[in-house]
Chains A and B, each alone.
Chain A
């Protein structure tokens, strides 16, 4: 299973943009890049996903490198409620497992 690498933690100021990086150098052509986040005492929640092109939704944007070996989750204006652990994961239609790493813990300062 292809793995992802993320920084353990990042810090941001409230109302500033946040760029959360993810490396996935062994990604295959059929792996979708998904991002989830987990607030304290809750289950993970879906944020965004993409295959090759950049994606935008109401929560965030996903920028995917041209070689697909890395991606960046962009929160345009961080709020205190965005403080969470963010997981970058790969999902392949040919398998069943979805492997989570340790994620990036985002701290947001007021």
Chain B
């Protein structure tokens, strides 16, 4: 497809398990963002990549959260030792240009439920 693709769409994890969430941005898009959205809230910024460089990770809530984009295309958000408060929808967005310019294209999100 031509849009941003995220997988899995739904993930149930037991507390303490590690999870990995994948984002396939639109081909050629320079910027990639990860957001966390709790139920009934707006998306909260987690981290930003410009190509393979992680230029801002100030929104990552703890050192259990780690994101990478090694070849400047696909990105993975990893959460170690999941906790119940990690339950949320994780949104990925890409943009054709760098920095804070242009339209953001969002995926449908990965809904994580931690039991």
A interface vs B, CB < 8 Å?
32, 36, 41-46, 49, 85, 87, 91-103
Per the bound structure, the CA–CA distance linking A110 and B11 in Å amounts to 36
Q: Is B55 an interface residue when CB atoms closer than 8 A count as contact? A: yes
Q: How far is the CB of A84 from chain B (nearest CB, A)?
A: 13
By secondary structure, the A interface counts as: loop
Per the bound structure, the CA–CA distance linking A45 and B58 in Å amounts to 24
Query: Is B33's CB under 8 angstroms from A98's CB?
Result: yes
B interface vs A, CB < 8 Å?
4, 33, 35, 41-45, 48, 50, 55-56, 58-59, 91, 93, 99-101, 103-109
Query: Is A100's CB under 8 angstroms from B104's CB?
Result: no
Query: Is B109's CB under 8 angstroms from A43's CB?
Result: yes
Q: Nearest chain-B residue to A101 (Cβ)?
A: B42
* A residues less than 8 Å from B93 (CB atoms): 43-44
Q: Nearest chain-A residue to B49 (Cβ)?
A: A96
* A residues less than 8 Å from B35 (CB atoms): 100
Query: Is B100's CB under 8 angstroms from A91's CB?
Result: yes
* A residues less than 8 Å from B106 (CB atoms): 43-45
Cβ 8 A contact of A97, one of B41, B48, B50: B48
**If A36-B104, A46-B104 touch, does A97 touch B43 (CB 8 Å cutoff)?**
no
